[in-house]
Amino acid sequence: MGGVMQLVEACKTILKQLADAIGQIEEKDFIKPCPSLSYATLGQHVRHTLEFFICLEQGFEQGIVNYDKRAHDKLIESDRVIAVATIEGIGDFISSQVGDKKLKLEVGYEPDDDKFVTLDTNYLRELTYNIEHAVHHMAIMKIGVREVAPYVHLSTDFGVAISTLRYKESGVVSAH
């Protein structure tokens, strides 16, 4: 499978897993503070994850990606239907990209300064980052699902990195 298609398929797989999980969560549990997640909600983790993809899409069009400029959209984190519709829109965008594109990445790590450092990057690098970021947050969400919505059935590879899956398939047992 070509490089672009491999990334697109990986992205579509995790987005489907996320949509499937959201579809099973009762609305009250989607917005319920979860003690083991520092009282964040599953909806907040979903929103955070999706907004990184949204930033990538906006950055693709503008040529500059900045993940700090997320909207913190309360509708995505509080309404499962809107969250799933957002996932579908992200999937459409990801599927429509057939190649790479040079981009700039703005980052800022000074808490008292809103100036950004600008770095060269590209769409495929940022898509890869988004996939890894999503898997990481899905692993966190899995903890929250077990606590506030244990009736939800998650696939065994929900929130598990591909490298971990490969490692497990090799017959060696690991914590990660």
**Residue 75 is part of a domain; what is its CATH number?**
1.20.120
Instruction: Give the whole-angstrom CA distance, residue 71 versus residue 129.
Output: 19
At residue 3, the pLDDT reads 74
At residue 176, the pLDDT reads 53
- At 34, the amino acid letter reads C
Contact 39, 33 (CB under 8 A): yes
Task: Name the pTM for this structure.
Answer: 0.89
Residue 115 falls within a domain, yes or no?
yes
Residue 10 falls within a domain, yes or no?
yes
Instruction: Give the whole-angstrom CA distance, residue 25 versus residue 150.
Output: 9
Residue ranges making up the domain that contains 142: 3-169
At residue 170, the pLDDT reads 63
Residue 160 falls within a domain, yes or no?
yes
* Total residues found in the chain within this entry: 176
pLDDT in 10s for each residue of the chain, 176 residues: 467 888 999 999 999 999 999 999 999 999 999 999 999 999 999 999 999 999 999 999 999 999 999 999 999 999 999 999 999 999 999 999 988 999 999 999 888 888 899 999 999 999 999 999 999 999 999 999 999 999 999 998 999 877 665 666 666 555 55
Residues in Cβ contact with 70 at an 8 Å cutoff, skipping those fewer than 6 apart: 48, 51, 52, 54, 55
At residue 111, the pLDDT reads 81
Domain count, the chain: 1
Instruction: Give the whole-angstrom CA distance, residue 149 versus residue 137.
Output: 16
At residue 104, the pLDDT reads 98
Residue 175 falls within a domain, yes or no?
no
Residue 81 falls within a domain, yes or no?
yes
Residue 174 falls within a domain, yes or no?
no
Instruction: Give the whole-angstrom CA distance, residue 79 versus residue 97.
Output: 28
Residue 176 falls within a domain, yes or no?
no
Residues in Cβ contact with 154 at an 8 Å cutoff, skipping those fewer than 6 apart: 17, 21, 142, 145
Residue 42 falls within a domain, yes or no?
yes
